[in-house]
Structure 1
Amino acid sequence: MTVTERSTDGSYRDRVVAVEPGGTEYISEADRHGKPSQLFWTWTSPNLEFATIFVGMLAVLAFGMTFWQAVAGIVLGTGLGAIAHYFLSARGPLHGVPQMVLGRLAFGFKGNAVPSVLMSVTAGVGWFATNSVSGAFALSTLFGIGPLLGLVIIVAAQTALAFFGHNLVQAFERYSFPVLAVVFLAASVAIFAHADIGNAAPAADGVGGLGGFLLTVGTSFGYAAGWTPYAADFTRYLPATVSGPRTGFFAAAGLFTACVVLEVVGAASVTTGEASLADPTGSFTAELASPLAKATLLAIAVGAIAANAINVYSGAMAFVSTGITLPAHVARALVTVFFGVAGFLVAWWALPDAAHSYEAFLLIIAYWVGPWLGVVFADQYLRRGRPVAHLLYDRSYTNWGGLVAFLIGLVVSVVLFANQEKLVGVVAAAAPQLGDITFFVGFVLAGAAYWVLCRPAITKQ
């Protein structure tokens, strides 16, 4: 593979307790290691956390779904997100670069700065803050300390992991997986033992109907698809000879399994009659025996760290891919610290009203990820079988049609179909029973616009 920007030098390899050098360079064969099966726990562990459970709780408490309606929406939304994750993860070993560097194909070097900044903000700040809050509340409840002190502990741990980089993050996901899996499995069994999944009525003040179902699909998709801009970040170190389909399968399977299981458990927990948006963590563990409740709270904190180590790592990676000039050897590590501080400040601000902030955040993620996926997949299809390495680090390469298509999909879908408390689109206001289908519309519009605007130029290359 020929690139116009330096590649790694083979000094990092599979070293775990070492700061990953550089930022967005091509991963040389000397640094490649691992196998596709490791991606199962890479994407299971960060989703074995309370933020995942809360998606299922929202489906029943806020969106007015019965348990089985919630399950259907969760499976559909998560499945769509996992399919997207499959295709993007599969490209990592072949190209050996981060996901947002691959995004330069669709947006050009400079145009790619827009989705890269969006991704770095939603991952390195938004998701970081969201998961930090749940971890902080878990530590607060478990040890009787203030939420702010819990937040400081959580942020320090996850920022340190991300600062060291890829190999330490992967190792943490691997070794936290069995602990998280056992604790959450035991908690799930206990929750279902007390649940009334067949007879519980939906929340009286929920949305209900088709609108509630589509909101459930949207939040489930937003949660799962929120990982897609990171996909190749955690497959680019695999040897170029590994199977692309196997790579995509294990990444998607880990994501789908963890999200569906815990979101369904979250929906079931509401039917126990104890669930509350005011204290979701406390109400979830209320039905558990004391030892299991304490273990679950600890697992929630560990799961938050597992998720945010990935969030702040890839958020920093995306920011570096904008082309900013920093000391090359420590670019990603420096930006990681910045996002750790920024995420802490946002999490501190969100502590008083975490539930409503989370619901809005999930939908906002889907708003921009939908059209971004539309553009990326349209570009990937049009370039199938074509050499692309020469474009990835070419600062003069432009493809403004990609950015235009993305903005068309984003703006039109939000203006017409957004359906949030503080942002209601024209169509959503006239037909509220549609719920929120912004992400679907954005995906289709952006992909179609990219096909029209960019296909002639790509086919001539």
Structure 2
Amino acid sequence: MDSTLNRDVEKRAGTAEPPLFDHESGAVPASSFEHGNSLYAKLQRLGGKIKVEQRGIERVPEDERTDNSYWNIGSMWLAANMVVPSFTIGVLGQPLFNLGFIDSALIIIFFNFISVLTVCFFSTFGAAFGVTTNGFVSVLVWMVGCQAHDLVALFNVLACLGWAAANIIVGAQLINAVNPDVPGYAGILIIAFCTLAVVFFGYQVVHAYEYWSWIPTFIVFLVVLGVFAHSGDFVNIPMRSGSIELGAVLSYGSTVFGFGTGYTSFAADYTVYQPSDRPRRKVFLATWLGIFPTLLFTELLGAALVTAITLNGGDNPYNAGYQDNGVGGLLGALLFPRVGGFGKFCVIILALSIVANNCPNIYSVSLTLMVMGRCTRHVPRFVWTIVATAIYIAIAIPGYSQFEAVLENFMHFIGYWLAIYEGIALTEHFVFRRGFSGYQPEDYDNRDKLPPGIAALLAFCCGVVGMVTGMSQSWYVGPIAKSAGLAPAGGDVGFELGFAFAASSYAILRFIEKGFFKR
């Protein structure tokens, strides 16, 4: 097999001897990463001494896929979502879209249900094939030579780094709410370095951390729920009707969808060490049980608490706290007067919960960086985690003061591009591959056997056209969005149209491409 990965391993080793590489399956044993005298091999040997995961995007051999725990899958997503950022998505419904609890709750339930399905579905590919999400995408529709794969990798890098920056700003707000003498940049640095300490060591340490980290956060959220229920400050804001309500529902739904579906582009990264004989339905269910109930719990709690900012026409401590310090100020207004020092302890726990949410972002962005160019593969994964950490810190510090607007726009961006990605990938899987049996995972890095990617690239552009016509942002409102709600903001239908345009155009273009190139 003329595999690019085989050539890369030989270059890393700096030797003409055959590398440790299974030509039949395309898998690369862990022992190969330390082979040779190149700088890459020396760094890998150094990492091996301190038990750092050395594998990058290479396919995992069957004998190394020893993660037999379904709870490892479920707890990964449970911990990543039992955090303040998901709580914050629930909070955004009232101040940004003027929604009450009932309509916010209905939006949260419906849009989360559809958004997490692709996360659960793509999680099954890691166990089935032993390759990360980007490796699977190569098998599916992309080829580096046509730049389509690099385009997806670029968007995934932006998404992961943007997620990490948005999340860490929330944590910094919480720390600042407890102690105003701690500036935003200091809170950002604290959480970023804690995250780096986990993801630097790789898959096993990330899973071990997520296995337990949700427990104290869950307890704190129960305290928030109990204190708020006892306070009697919940406000039942009536639902509206007509165009103004339609626009708000669609736009907030796009925000909720963007958060829930945000893990799709790296879902398979956390099941690659699961055995290939794992029933796909059980992997899907383990992911679903970890992510969907958790999102509902945290977001509904946020949607309930934020109704208190409307007390006395907005003249209340909740609204003052939220205006001064975002979600941290809102939680502080609830907890600090009622449970004193323990309330501050709870808020610090919530701030540190950001680590659990940022671990998958920074771990996966390091893998994605390794597929963006042949030269990036010659840098070990754990080095890329350091680079990624420095980048999102640089994004978060200047974005600290504009968090709310940044988060809303970012959630829409995530929903837009992932809907396009999902439209293409699902069409390829169900229409052209006709299920899992239609894949040759051993070819994930063999250019001669991968699709040219022309159809995928053109379909992506068509998806962007749909996105633009349906998007509703402060800086641009598409023509279809204007008719989906009250003018001038309208209602955001960018992700729905992006998915539809991409899926339908890809079905046509891929049929033509496959007939011409025969692959």
TM-score (norm 2): 0.82
Partner SS, residue 227 of structure 1? helix
Matched, 1:440 2:496: yes
Partner SS, residue 492 of structure 2? coil
368-377 or 317-326, which deviates more: 317-326
Question: What is the one-letter code of the residue matched to 2:143?
Answer: G
343-352 or 423-432, which deviates more: 423-432
Instruction: Indicate the residue corresponding to 1:6 in structure 2.
Output: 28
Instruction: Indicate the residue corresponding to 2:385 in structure 1.
Output: 336
2:472–2:478 contact (8 Å) kept in structure 1: yes
Partner SS, residue 242 of structure 1? coil
* Cα offsets for 1:390-447 (capped at 9, x unmatched): 431113432221121112112x123211101112212223554451010011111111
Instruction: Indicate the residue corresponding to 1:389 in structure 2.
Output: 441
- Give the distance between the partners of 1:429 and 1:456, measured in 2 at CA: 35
Partner SS, residue 18 of structure 1? coil
Instruction: Indicate the residue corresponding to 1:407 in structure 2.
Output: 461
Instruction: Indicate the residue corresponding to 2:227 in structure 1.
Output: 190
**Structure 1 residue 177 displacement after superposition:** 1.7
Partner SS, residue 298 of structure 2? helix
Instruction: Indicate the residue corresponding to 1:166 in structure 2.
Output: 203
**Structure 1 residue 331 displacement after superposition:** 2.4
**Structure 1 residue 249 displacement after superposition:** 1.1
**Structure 1 residue 180 displacement after superposition:** 1.5
- Give the distance between the partners of 1:16 and 1:198, measured in 2 at CA: 57
Structure with higher RCO (Cα < 8 A, 6+ apart): 1
| 1:426/1:152 CA distance change after superposition, 3 Å | same
Instruction: Indicate the residue corresponding to 2:329 in structure 1.
Output: 282
- Give the distance between the partners of 1:191 and 1:413, measured in 2 at CA: 42
| 1:69/1:431 CA distance change after superposition, 3 Å | closer
| 1:286/1:450 CA distance change after superposition, 3 Å | same
| 1:278/1:377 CA distance change after superposition, 3 Å | farther
Partner SS, residue 256 of structure 2? helix
Instruction: Indicate the residue corresponding to 2:143 in structure 1.
Output: 108
2:28–2:61 contact (8 Å) kept in structure 1: no
- Give the distance between the partners of 2:222 and 2:506, measured in 1 at CA: 44
- Give the distance between the partners of 1:324 and 1:277, measured in 2 at CA: 47
**Structure 1 residue 386 displacement after superposition:** 1.4
CA RMSD for the aligned pairs?
A: 2.4
1:321 to 352, 371, 374: 371
**Structure 1 residue 303 displacement after superposition:** 1.6
**Structure 1 residue 317 displacement after superposition:** 1.0
- Give the distance between the partners of 2:66 and 2:50, measured in 1 at CA: 16
Question: What is the one-letter code of the residue matched to 2:374?
Answer: I
2:235–2:307 contact (8 Å) kept in structure 1: no
Instruction: Indicate the residue corresponding to 1:31 in structure 2.
Output: 64
- Give the distance between the partners of 2:477 and 2:442, measured in 1 at CA: 43
- Give the distance between the partners of 1:122 and 1:436, measured in 2 at CA: 20
Within-5 A mapping of 1:114-263 = 114-123=151-160, 125-143=161-179, 144-194=181-231, 199-201=236-238, 208-263=244-299
Instruction: Indicate the residue corresponding to 1:92 in structure 2.
Output: 126
| 1:26/1:152 CA distance change after superposition, 3 Å | same
- Give the distance between the partners of 2:323 and 2:50, measured in 1 at CA: 40
Partner SS, residue 54 of structure 1? helix
1:77–1:216 contact (8 Å) kept in structure 2: no
2:367–2:381 contact (8 Å) kept in structure 1: yes
**Structure 1 residue 353 displacement after superposition:** 1.2
1:77–1:220 contact (8 Å) kept in structure 2: yes
**Structure 1 residue 86 displacement after superposition:** 1.4
1:10–1:30 contact (8 Å) kept in structure 2: no
User: Matched residue pairs, number?
Assistant: 453
**Structure 1 residue 319 displacement after superposition:** 1.7
- Give the distance between the partners of 1:17 and 1:169, measured in 2 at CA: 15
* Cα offsets for 1:6-28 (capped at 9, x unmatched): 3434999xx99721103101111
Matched, 1:81 2:122: no
| 1:50/1:248 CA distance change after superposition, 3 Å | same
Matched, 1:360 2:409: yes
Question: What is the one-letter code of the residue matched to 2:253?
Answer: V
Matched, 1:63 2:97: yes
2:169–2:400 contact (8 Å) kept in structure 1: yes
| 1:179/1:16 CA distance change after superposition, 3 Å | farther
Of all paired residues, the percent bearing the same amino acid is: 23
1:67–1:197 contact (8 Å) kept in structure 2: no
* Cα offsets for 1:356-411 (capped at 9, x unmatched): 1111111111110110011111111121221322431113432221121112112x
- Give the distance between the partners of 2:232 and 2:444, measured in 1 at CA: 52
- Give the distance between the partners of 2:399 and 2:238, measured in 1 at CA: 31
Instruction: Indicate the residue corresponding to 2:313 in structure 1.
Output: none
Instruction: Indicate the residue corresponding to 1:20 in structure 2.
Output: 53
Greater Rg by CA: 2
| 1:334/1:269 CA distance change after superposition, 3 Å | same
- Give the distance between the partners of 2:372 and 2:358, measured in 1 at CA: 21
Instruction: Indicate the residue corresponding to 1:422 in structure 2.
Output: 475
1:139–1:298 contact (8 Å) kept in structure 2: yes
| 1:323/1:394 CA distance change after superposition, 3 Å | farther
TM-score (norm 1): 0.92
2:57–2:131 contact (8 Å) kept in structure 1: yes
Question: What is the one-letter code of the residue matched to 1:160?
Answer: A
- Give the distance between the partners of 2:462 and 2:208, measured in 1 at CA: 40
- Give the distance between the partners of 1:186 and 1:317, measured in 2 at CA: 37
Question: What is the one-letter code of the residue matched to 1:22?
Answer: R
